[in-house]
Amino acid sequence: MTVITRFAPSPTGYLHIGGARTALFNWLYAKANNGKFLLRIEDTDRERSTQNAVQAIFEGLDWLGITPDEEPTFQFQRADRHREVVEEMISKGTAFKCYTSQEELAERREQGEAKRADAKIAAKEGNEDLASNLRAEADKLLAPYRSPYRDGKTPTDPNASYVVRLRAPDEGRIEFTDDVQGHVGVSAGQIDDLILLRTDGTPTYMIAVVVDDHDMGVTQVIRGDDHLGNTYRQIPIYQAMGWDLPKYAHVPLIHGPDGKKLSKRHGALGVEAYRDMGYLPEGMNNYLLRLGWSHGDDEIIPQDKAIEWFNTAGLGKAPGRLDFEKMKSVNAHYMAQADDNRLCDLLFSRDGFDQLSQVVKSRIKTSMSEIKNRAATIEELEMQTNFLLDLRPIEITGKLKKKMSLDAMERLSKLTIRFKDLSEWNNLALTAAITDFCADEEVGMGMIGPTLRAALTGGSPAPDLGLVLEWLGRDESLSRIDDQLNKVSA
């Protein structure tokens, strides 16, 4: 049997980080078992589904390298097939036409809530018998709906509009063994006669998911544990059609750093936001993988190892907590390993960096093998390379201005003479020149280093001075120093 998994997002917004993790788990499971990973766009909610959201899902998955093995399926386009199955269920007696109106259902809920409120009042007044009776009546009215039409009741008006409902099991339990949750189940009485077709004949999510998973041959469903309740309601549809159930793995959702359900205030952003912040897809995949799955104490898990090791046994039962510092730490590992030219291309495509001169680009390319180790993201890489841009004339302000005293500038002038006499302009020669100068002048590095650094970088983050001078080049370095010396002489 070929293992087939699927990712089935609703195109009502961006591809959020939880959805990306679900897609990754399904993709890895398929690859680990030499199976197929499929993508299904669940666009049956026509009012909320948008083409922009569909495109965001495609782009997010493409960026992460999570590629389906077949063309995506669009659920709405399969509505005829969904209706066909419902008609078959009607003929078998496992589904039926229900003429109960929305107004009747609303009235039922209102009566139940009213009786529940009256029960509280009766209990406060000490009339426990009345309170108990009212609670029982409220529970009956607010229980999962069982339609009177399930047992053959005929409508008053045969031309009245109707929905088609599943005839939920009358007794027993609905249960299954989940790869994460273990053996789970609910009593049949907790399942309602759920709607399969609306009054306009459009299929609902519940029937569409089951039919699509069956027709696509899905053998393993990995999804968030917020879908566990849906699974209990979908199993009777499988049973009604005599179809085999796929295996299920309901994964705990991602929580915020405070342990609460992830929300926008925690940074629950779309995948494209992390891309724009400068995370690498391999770093994001590694982080998401460890956010709910483990392989011993391994933290850095490259893709080939992830495919080799992935199984549902490694999925945890506790919610993963979003940790941005950990995310950066993992990404920093992949930044250090990344190809220099690739990082340059990513950097040069960012706003403000796309119009750099070839001279500046050359400086950055020269520095990349070293400077990438100082940045956890492309965004940080941008800050780390700022001193290599065309900054002249550099304006020294704030606390740095204290580094530019007359004595300091005099020492800088003497050091510049030595720089001009150097036959080789590289880190080794430049560092030696600075060290020899300090020795000859009988001053510590603290008496010249901060002044030289301010003149060269204006306070921007930068590595050792020898490297800064080498990457800027002879002409640019001396020009930046002369700019500051000329201010003093002026």
Mean pLDDT of the chain: 93
Please tell me which residue, 159 or 67, carries the higher pLDDT value: 67
Q: In sequence order, which residues have a C-beta less than 8 Å from that of residue 106 and are 6 or more positions away?
A: none
Give the model's pLDDT for residue 473: 96
3-state secondary structure of 479: helix
Give the model's pLDDT for residue 247: 98
- Confidence bin at 117 (pLDDT 50/70/90): confident
Mean pLDDT, residues 9-15 taken together = 88
- Confidence bin at 264 (pLDDT 50/70/90): low
> 404: which 2 tokens?
């530019």
Mean pLDDT, residues 306-333 taken together = 95
**H, E, C per residue of 18-75:** HHHHHHHHHHHHHHHCCCEEEEEECCCCCCCCCHHHHHHHHHHHHHHCCCCCCCCEEH
- Confidence bin at 326 (pLDDT 50/70/90): very high
Give the model's pLDDT for residue 448: 94
d(CA 246, CA 341): 45
- Confidence bin at 267 (pLDDT 50/70/90): low
- Confidence bin at 310 (pLDDT 50/70/90): very high
- Confidence bin at 140 (pLDDT 50/70/90): confident
Which parts are annotated binding residues?
Answer: 264
Half-sphere exposure of 376 (CA within 13 A, CB side): 11
Which parts are annotated binding residues for ATP?
Answer: 264
Q: What is the CATH number of domain 391-490?
A: 1.10.10.350
- The model's pLDDT over 150-208, given as tens digits with 9 standing for 90+, comes to 998 889 888 899 999 999 999 999 999 999 999 999 999 999 999 999 999 999 999 99
- Window from 98-107, 114-123, 327-336 with minimum mean pLDDT: 114-123
d(CA 44, CA 210): 14
- Confidence bin at 266 (pLDDT 50/70/90): low
Mean pLDDT, residues 277-283 taken together = 97
Give the model's pLDDT for residue 111: 84
Give the model's pLDDT for residue 71: 97
Give the model's pLDDT for residue 101: 87
One-character DSSP codes across 349-417: TSTTTTT--HHHHHHHHHHHHHHGGG-SSHHHHHHHTGGGS--PSP---GGGGGGG-HHHHHHHHHHHH
- Window from 308-317, 391-400, 408-417, 467-476 with minimum mean pLDDT: 391-400
d(CA 489, CA 409): 10
- The model's pLDDT over 425-461, given as tens digits with 9 standing for 90+, comes to 999 999 999 999 999 999 999 999 999 999 999 989 9
The yes-or-no verdict on residue 56 having pLDDT over 80 is yes
Give the model's pLDDT for residue 47: 77
Among 156, 159, 185, residue whose Cα is nearest residue 172: 185
The yes-or-no verdict on residue 1 having pLDDT over 90 is no
Percent of the chain with pLDDT over 90: 77
Percent helix, strand and coil across the chain, each rounded to 5?
A: 55, 10, 35
- The model's pLDDT over 200-233, given as tens digits with 9 standing for 90+, comes to 999 999 999 999 999 999 999 999 999 999 999 9
Contact by Cβ (8 Å): 217, 205: no
Percent of the chain with pLDDT over 70: 98
